[in-house]
Amino acid sequence: MKMITAENAGVKLNGKTILDNISFVLPEGHSMAIVGPSGSGKTTLGKLIGGLAGVTSGQLKVANDKLCLMVEQQDNFMAASHIRSGYYGQRYENLGLEDVPTVGEYLKKIAQSLKSGISRADIDSSLLGMGILALSGRKLMYLSDGERKRTQLVATLIQNPDILVLDQPFVGLDVSAREILEGQLAWFQKSGRTLVLICDPGHVPSQIDWVLELGRGVSPSLKPRKEFVPEKPEMDKTEDLNNIFGFFQPAGPDRFEHAVVMKNVNVSFRGNNILKNINWEVRKGDRWALLGPNGSGKTTLLSLITADNPQGYCNDLVLFDRKRGSGETIWDIKKRIGFVSPELHLFFLGGKGIFNSIPGLENSPGYIGNSVSCEEVVSSGFQDQVGFSDNNSNVQKKSVDAWLSVFQIDHLSGKTFREASMSEQRLLLLARALVKMPSLLILDEPCQGLGPHQTVQFTEMLDVVCPKLDTTMIYVTHQPEEIPKSVNKLLRLEAGSIKSCGEFPEKV
């Protein structure tokens, strides 16, 4: 039986061709990986299959009597939590989150909406299979990035789809979680159902039957998995960055000995110990890799440094040689930090920009939720805003344009953030973190959503910028192979405690 049939399927948006002449047939019970460079239309094709978008030419058909569900890259937990307005540090302050559902409550509500009965035991079994049964009682907004991803997957699997479309499901997962997910996908395939997986060329699981490669300049067609050999990303020469250094606008005074000093730092929430006796020093010019499994406390640790977590006041914490709570403001700290994270991306995707911090303002006359421009996203890094920015100097505007050029996304000038592809949005947020040449650069999963070529380009650029400007950096990732060569220190967390801390080893 033909489960998915595409015949010269194409999509055009605002006069731009996203997909063209896509033709293939995927039989029932078979699996397919969609690969290709960033911007090649992988996510768009996934949405066509998942019924979330329509073709503008040709046709794409999915078997009528089959349930097809898609798990997108970004979750909708903020909407599911009925949070109309929020700000980045809200979850650390526990304000306005009393009614946010737990993971168990969220899944129970989904189960109750289904015609076929799903018991609590069924839900617990799915959570156990994904390795997150212990999260059942935790509120959605307190999950780590990897925990959110696995909860997304459970919420879809309990609906028992006949066809499952997954957009970059391995992104944000640690090694153990990726192995668990591969096992779950193998189980899904063995049950005779159809799987469509959007992923990087180097991460196609061995059990996948077919590969559809986009963006090679020829009409794509299915090829057997065993015949697919991914191309290695070429090591480009890093673009000349003199135009960036010419517009160098430091975040603030760069005179400090320690960016971070933590002594016996502890963070707990609702009786749970998140961080335990953390002792850590980050000296000026250090470039640290911060590693650890999902839920090990990495994001909470960073929230203390970015001044988003109020428990920084009740700990022995020094930021830029100044004791936390000694009269400095949050903005005194933030102006010296460039920051990007998967969670920050979610706030920009909300389309409200800085209005997220002003409850009720989204209802004001003239407010347009999706009007944040790409230039505004980058320039908001000067003022540490989440969205709109104004009154930028000519030098700052030129710096924004220069960063757009370095990341090869000049074509986004004049467009809104929503019009950019997922990988382009990530590049815009990376430019936002770098635009003011901060004293401390905090990159939490910075290459998440980027293609292999873009990842190489970005890490090479860091290896030029950081040593030249003596930039202090904290780099978080679950992919050791992407760690920049300029990183010289390693902090590894496990269950909220330090497992190792010191010089960066040859093998991670």
Which of 87-96, 106-115, 335-344, 452-461 has the least mean pLDDT? 87-96
313 pLDDT above the threshold of 80: yes
Quote the pLDDT of residue 38: 80
303 pLDDT above the threshold of 70: yes
21 pLDDT above the threshold of 50: yes
Quote the pLDDT of residue 352: 42
Which of 118-122, 150-154, 221-225, 231-235 has the least mean pLDDT? 231-235
d(C-alpha 298, C-alpha 264), whole Å: 16
Q: Which two tokens stand for residue 300?
A: 């909470």
Quote the pLDDT of residue 99: 75
Q: Which two tokens stand for residue 234?
A: 């070429």
The string of pLDDT tens digits covering residues 487-505 is: 999 999 999 999 999 999 8
pLDDT-based confidence at 361, cuts 50/70/90? very low
Quote the pLDDT of residue 344: 84
Quote the pLDDT of residue 360: 33
- Residue 453 CB-density burial (10 A; 0-12 exposed, 13-18 middle, 19+ buried): middle
- Taking alpha carbons only, the member of 296, 282, 297, 266 closest to residue 337 is 282
Contacts 24+ apart (CB under 8 A), 184-191: 184/129, 184/130, 184/153, 184/157, 187/129, 188/157, 188/164, 189/29, 189/31
Residue 234, number of CB atoms within 10 A of its CB: 9
299 pLDDT above the threshold of 70: yes
253 pLDDT above the threshold of 90: no
User: Per-residue pLDDT averaged across 36-61, rounded?
Assistant: 91
Question: In the chain, count of helices (H) and strands (E)?
Answer: 15, 19
Q: Strands 287-291, 489-494: parallel, antiparallel or unpaired by DSSP?
A: parallel
- Taking alpha carbons only, the member of 440, 381, 452 closest to residue 215 is 452
358 pLDDT above the threshold of 90: no
Which DSSP letter does residue 245 get? Answer: H
- Taking alpha carbons only, the member of 48, 90, 77 closest to residue 150 is 77
The answer to whether 209 and 224 have CB atoms below 8 angstroms apart is yes
